[in-house]
Amino acid sequence: MDTIIQISYFVSAVLFILGLKRMSSPVTARDGIVWAGVGMLVATLITFFHPGMHNYLPMTVAIAIGGGLALWSGKKVAMTDMPQMIALYNGMGGGAAGAIAAVELLKGEFPSTSFLALAIAGALIGSISFSGSLVAFAKLQGWARKPLRFPGQQVFNLALLAASIGISIYLIVLGHFSSGLILAFFALALAYGVMMALPIGGADMPVVISLFNALTGLAVAFEGFVLNNAAMIIAGTVVGSAGTLLTQLMAKAMNRSIGSVLFRAFGTAEGGAAEAVTGSMKPIDAADVGVMMAYAERVVIIPGYGMAVAQAQHKIRELSELLIKRGVDVKFAIHPVAGRMPGHMNVLLAEANVPYDLLYDLDEINPAFPQTDVALVIGANDVVNPTARTNPDSPIYGMPILNADLAKNVIVIKRGQGKGFSGVENALFFADNTRMLYGDGQAMTSELIQAVKTL
């Protein structure tokens, strides 16, 4: 029976890896999710046959409740709320790893010190990921919008982390497993996760979500070693490595180090002085924009978080189809950190059935902007700010941006004249070739659709 169990775990691990590989392409992503889901099903079912396994009723009830809630929430959640759901589910993974470690620590039975160290490391990392992801969820849900910062915050956070590590070392060296000490350890680790996420603003959320994803994978892998579970080891390692690479890519896309994201306020005085912007924002009517776009040869649409908030992705798809029928070359420019999670814009546009071959990443689309007749910016801000190229003192200087300002005409759909999450004034909005179409993203896009239809 043990051979069958190990083979099943191996099959599960292979399905996880193949599923993750297929998720890297929008064309095969749906199949990849199914493959990984089948792998999880196999791993879960075979665990019931593990030697010494008992408590089948509580396990079955827990799986039924968790699976039922996941099925219900997965069907109910709007695509615009996907970032907070991902943050929440990721946190549950870290919490599960921490719970496994807590049970093992309370048992106090480890074959060697190395297994104990792995259990405690998984508990620490998993607890941080759990509480930090919950804070990220609250921020994305709008329950805690403003970053919380106070004097000496980093010193306080380091003290929490040092205390957690101190208790970890004490547990490893002395092997003393009192319930009070274990409780204090988890309380400090959970508190550090909360304090780590509280000061981080919305602009950094894609990086933070990726980081917590990597931490969850690492915690699961550690606990897999403790339980001698091959599926957990391989799945956790794959998730941890993929999350780490994604975190690095997200940070690179913002030209910031991971340490800067975690320990430095973005867009405050710490980041440098903002460049003085001269001129004024020039409004335009939807009817005029409709004419401009209908008779253009090339149009690039640049979506951002504002499109997600306005739930305008379906209207944007309808507008693009109208323009394409008129012979306009339409492309979508996707910045790696547009939105509140990695791939946020890709997910929304896919949900609206925008063809994959119309989506271009930053490196692919930037050379096309000088030949673009109209660049339509809907909800994007910092990712199109030319200040990132011109002002070395700006907090966003060096951040790779979409070169929308190089287009012949730029139309920006925006509710008002506010700044982006970086707190930096956007020089694009004041440029001579830019016009502002003020209003709700969905409402303004509907007006553009009607304007194009009348021509």
Q: Which residues are catalytic?
A: 382
Both tokens of 222, joined, read 């550690």
Alpha carbon of residue 53 to chain centroid: 37
Angstrom distances, CA of residue 153 to CA of 99, 106, 373, 388, 404: 28, 32, 48, 28, 38
Both tokens of 360, joined, read 């271009």
Alpha carbon of residue 294 to chain centroid: 35
Beta-ladder partners of 138: none
Beta-ladder partners of 300: 331, 375
Q: Is 228 left (phi over 0), alpha (psi -120 to 50) or beta?
A: left
Both tokens of 189, joined, read 């680790």
